[in-house]
Amino acid sequence: MQDSGVDPVAHNRAAWDKCVEDGNEWSRPVSAEAVERARGGDWSIVLIGRQPVDRSWLPADLTGKDVLCLASGGGQQGPILAAAGARVTVFDNSPRQLGQDRMVAARDGLDLRTVLGDMSDLGTFGDSSFDVVFHPVSNLFVPDLAPVWRECFRVLRPGGTLLAGFLNPDVYLFDHEALDERGELTVVHTLPYSDVARYSAEERATKFGAGAPLEYSHTLTDQIAGQLAAGFVIGAFAEAPHQSNASAQYMSHYFATLAVKPG
């Protein structure tokens, strides 16, 4: 079934631009009120599901900290961190997602930078450029994780931290339609899973909608041991259920790691 010549970066760029047009949950900018509260120290951001990230995972004082919001466009986390005092760069594959961050920055007088690119290639940034990389659930949109972890390690300063959220790969075992429409856990896929390998372009359009993002499951070895292989030390772990999926009563959909670059 694998489509020859599919470029996941180009495909998912167009797909997420469309997600912005469609009002996807992860493309809705934060309110001016939330930004104002963040300026006063009252803030939270999401790393996995809708669960606020543990504040102890971030520096106690963000003032002057260089933060890379990796594959984190949409006008959500970046503006809040900027309002809390960080020097924020939002890096994303979708121009429209980055446009949401620029809109909030202009609306609320925030100083943040946006950069367009593929999360697997951070060559636009020098070594040891950031104190924090904030990477919410998004690496399901790339086929290979090793370059992502290597680049995160390279651009962090010694002692810097990577906050990474990712999907439990087991969620890809189940039939999408049976789960969403009837709440049935029907196993139809083997792991590792990819939309491209499993379905033709026509089948994907029928099953997920025309132009939907391409997704790839990644083993926990790729997710966790991959960070270790890149040089990180993992200091904390968290999990969260899906906010609405029927399988949430049986399993956690999301995992998160706090990883440190030794220094």
Residue 68 sits in a domain whose CATH number is 3.40.50.150
Overall number of domains in the chain: 1
32-39 vs 95-108: helix crossing angle, rounded to 10: 60
Q: Is residue 180 part of a domain?
A: no
Q: Is residue 248 part of a domain?
A: yes
Q: Is residue 211 part of a domain?
A: no
Q: Is residue 104 part of a domain?
A: yes
**180: confidence class by pLDDT, cuts 50, 70, 90:** confident
pLDDT at 143 over 60: yes
Q: Is residue 113 part of a domain?
A: yes
Q: Is residue 95 part of a domain?
A: yes
Q: What is the pTM of this model?
A: 0.95
CA distances from 199 to 19, 129, 215 (A): 21, 40, 11
Per-residue model confidence (pLDDT) at position 1 = 43
Q: Is residue 121 part of a domain?
A: yes
Give the C-alpha separation, 127 to 99, whole Å.
26
